Amino acid sequence: MAKFYLTTAIDYSNGDPHLGHALEKVGADVIARYRRLRSDQVHFLMGMDEHSQSVIQAAEEAGITPQAWVDRMAERFRLFWSRLECRHDDWIRTTEPRHVRAVAELLGRIRERNPDDLYLADYEGLYCTGCEEFKQEAQIRDGRCIEHPTLELLPTRERNHFFRLSRYRDHLRGLIEGGGLRIEPRSRRNEIVRLLEAGLQDVSISRSRFPWGIPFPDSPGHTVYVWFDALINYLSATGFPEPGYETLWPADLHVIGKGISRFHCTLWPAMLVSAGLAPPVAVWVHGYVQWEGTKMSKTAGTAVTLEDAITRHGPDALRYFLMREIGFENDGNFTWERFDERYTAELADGFGNLASRSLAMLERYRNGVVPEDAGAGPLDEIGRSAVGRYTAAMDRLDLKGGIEAAWSLVTAANQHIVQTEPWSLAKAGRARELDAILAALARCLYRLAVLAAPVMPTKAETLWHGLGFEGGGPTAADWNELPSPPLAGRTTSRPPVLFPKPTAPGGPA
Ligand SMILES: [Zn+2]
pLDDT tens-digit map of 424-465? 999 999 999 999 999 999 999 999 999 999 999 999 999 999
pLDDT, position 358: 98
pLDDT, position 88: 98
pLDDT, position 301: 54
Report how far ligand 1's centroid is from the alpha carbon of 132 (Å).
7
- CA dist 348 and 500 (Å) reads 6
Give the mean pLDDT of 327-346: 95
Cis status of the peptide bond prior to 241, with omega within 30 of 0? yes
pLDDT, tens only, 124-140: 889 998 888 889 888 99
Which long-range contacts (C-beta less than 8 Å, at least 24 apart) are formed by 477-485?
478/450, 479/37, 479/38, 479/39, 479/450, 481/446, 482/384, 482/387, 482/446, 482/447, 482/450, 483/384, 483/387, 484/375, 484/443, 485/442, 485/443, 485/446, 485/447
User: 302: pLDDT confidence band, cut at 50, 70 and 90?
Assistant: low
pLDDT, position 509: 43
Give the mean pLDDT of 35-62: 94
pLDDT, position 504: 57
Give the mean pLDDT of 368-378: 91
Report how far ligand 1's centroid is from the alpha carbon of 128 (Å).
5
Report how far ligand 1's centroid is from the alpha carbon of 447 (Å).
45
Query: Residue 461: what are its φ and ψ, rounded to 5°?
Result: -65, -40
Cis status of the peptide bond prior to 483, with omega within 30 of 0? no
CA distances from 481 to 359, 435, 458, 478 (A): 20, 21, 21, 5
Does residue 508 surpass a pLDDT of 90?
A: no
User: 157: pLDDT confidence band, cut at 50, 70 and 90?
Assistant: confident
Report how far ligand 1's centroid is from the alpha carbon of 11 (Å).
15
β-partners of residue 286 are 257
Cis status of the peptide bond prior to 217, with omega within 30 of 0? no
Cβ contact 401:34 at 8 Å: no
Give the mean pLDDT of 34-56: 95
Rounded to a whole number, what is the largest CA-CA distance in the chain? 89
Q: What is the mean pLDDT of the chain?
A: 94
pTM: 0.94
Give the mean pLDDT of 346-351: 98
Does residue 31 surpass a pLDDT of 60?
A: yes
Residues 6+ apart with CB under 8 A from 498: 347, 351, 352, 355, 356, 459, 462, 463
Report how far ligand 1's centroid is from the alpha carbon of 140 (Å).
9
pLDDT, position 407: 98
pLDDT, tens only, 167-195: 999 999 999 999 999 999 999 999 999 99
pLDDT, position 505: 53
pLDDT, position 284: 98
φ/ψ bin of 468: left (φ > 0), alpha (ψ from -120 to 50), beta (otherwise): left
Query: What is the SS3 string spanning 32-98?
Result: HHHHHHCCCEEEEEEEEECCCHHHHHHHHHHCCCHHHHHHHHHHHHHHHHHHCCCCCCEEEECCCHH
Share of the chain above pLDDT 90, in %: 86
Catalytic residue IDs: 18, 21, 128, 131, 145, 148, 295, 298
pLDDT, position 410: 98
β-partners of residue 122 are 159
Report how far ligand 1's centroid is from the alpha carbon of 131 (Å).
4
Nearest to 85 by CA among 314, 333, 426: 314
Does residue 299 surpass a pLDDT of 70?
A: no
